[in-house]
Amino acid sequence: MIDQIGNYKILDEIGSGGMAVVYKGVQESLGRTVAIKALRSSVCKEDDAVARFEREAGSLASFQHENIITVYDFFPEGGSLFIVMEYVEGIDLYDLREKCDRLPADIVGIISLQVARALDYAHFRGLIHRDVKPANIILSKLGTVKLMDFGIAQVEESDLTRAGVGLGTPAYMSPEQIVGKRLDQRSDMFSLGIVMYQMVTGQKPFEEDDQRSTMEKIRGYTPPAPRTVNPAVPRELEEIINRCMEKDPQQRFGSTQELVITLEQFLAAHVNLNYRARLMLFLKEQGMISEDEVKAVLHPAMIGGVVGNVPSLRVKPRLVLYLGGLAVAAALAVVALILVLVLEVRRVRSIKPPEPVRVTVREEIATGGLRVVAVPWARVEVDGKERGTTPMDRPLTLPVGKHRVRLLNPYFKTEQRKVSIKKGKTLDLTVALKRAARGEGEAAKDEGGAKDEGTERDEGETKDEGTERDEGEAPGGEDTGAEEEADQ
């Protein structure tokens, strides 16, 4: 243990690894608490280790983002190298998961959103993290999530990917990172998907066994769906995790910004409290923050249990007796109802059933199919009734004839189409939504917009690229064509 490093007084050692030691210190000139990461003198002789250490300092030096650790200083001294960083008092995600196996879905969403924002900021500047894992994600006692350790970060345009193929943590690598392909932001997205999967299920999606290694499983094994392992996971969150963990990068989110927007939409529907306050209350529940620390930051109403303007109930003894009486009365009422139902069933059984009435079934209503694809996604209304949200796992079944289709997305302009359904045919309707101007919402319309790829005109008009096929018939059959009228 040393007492002084440069202009910084050392208070304690807070972490240690094979390459570096992390100290808690004080910059006495400013009275500021800092974290000092020191490269071990034995490692300083290794050029690769020194290059990684310098890369981490250089990568973070220009970053100013609330979800990324800030670097204050970098200097050599006494045969070693030192990075002086922002000191974050809290717990990393690795240690948090040791204390609580599975995290609540809203907490998973809050943590993932802040990590995604940090990655989006780095990706915007052309930097790929390449080592997103729980140990590199720290939760502060103020409810902020920080992403750290950019030691193996790589410039997106770099051709040195293969030289660093061995860098990273195998359990959190993307398939393309394992085989040494050129990486982009979607590689970090895959790693974050693994972290999210682990948070909601309590287990890693890819673990080594007697038959296959972790890397082999990442490349060719599909883990159980999160809801299979933990039924409490909301379906929307499961879809986000599954899309992040697609083997093919083209099937993942198109950008980290798109992932950020999707997580924001999920949280808007499931969390009606300030995200940092919700995270602080969760850490308090886990015994990682004291009540005094919470009181120093949060409003008393939140500490008392007010969540989303709904006060928590404080049960009194009289209320307990009253509720107990109601429960007994309710139980007696249920028993009486059951007896009445039993007697009624016996009475009905004693009545001779009437002669069956023969009903002649006329011809069934002719139907066809409509497969809707909306980019990026949309709620689908057919003839004024909501029929689901894209992507859909199967075509909609509609009566033969003309129908009005509306595609709604709060961040894009509403699209309207008239489609004509034919018996036994499946019509493909593909629409690329256009970004709505600020404030337009679902009511925005794109009058006169370009027609999508799923249109079909009346006989005699030129047909476009939309396809219509028999139900069950493979694409490319002889019976093609689709009909759709653009809504004016």
Positions marked catalytic: 131
The 3-state DSSP class for residue 5 equals: strand
Q: Which one, of 80, 82, 56, 81, lies nearest residue 69 by Cα?
A: 56
**In angstroms, rounded to a whole number, what is the distance separating the alpha carbons of residues 127 and 241?**
23
Residue 371, number of CB atoms within 10 A of its CB:
18
Amino acid at 482: A
Q: Which one, of 161, 135, 130, lies nearest residue 146 by Cα?
A: 135
**Residue 241 token pair:** 């995790």
Amino acid at 478: E
Bridge partners, 375 (sequence order): 432
Distance of CA 202 to the CA centre of its chain: 16
**In angstroms, rounded to a whole number, what is the distance separating the alpha carbons of residues 402 and 387?**
16
Whether residue 375 contacts residue 344, with contact meaning beta carbons closer than 8 Å, is answered with no
**230: exposed, middle or buried (Cβ count in 10 Å: 0-12, 13-18, 19+):** middle
Element containing residue 282 per DSSP (H, E): helix 275-285
**In angstroms, rounded to a whole number, what is the distance separating the alpha carbons of residues 166 and 327?**
64
Whether residue 414 contacts residue 444, with contact meaning beta carbons closer than 8 Å, is answered with yes
Residue 88 half-sphere exposure, CB side, CA atoms within 13 Å? 23
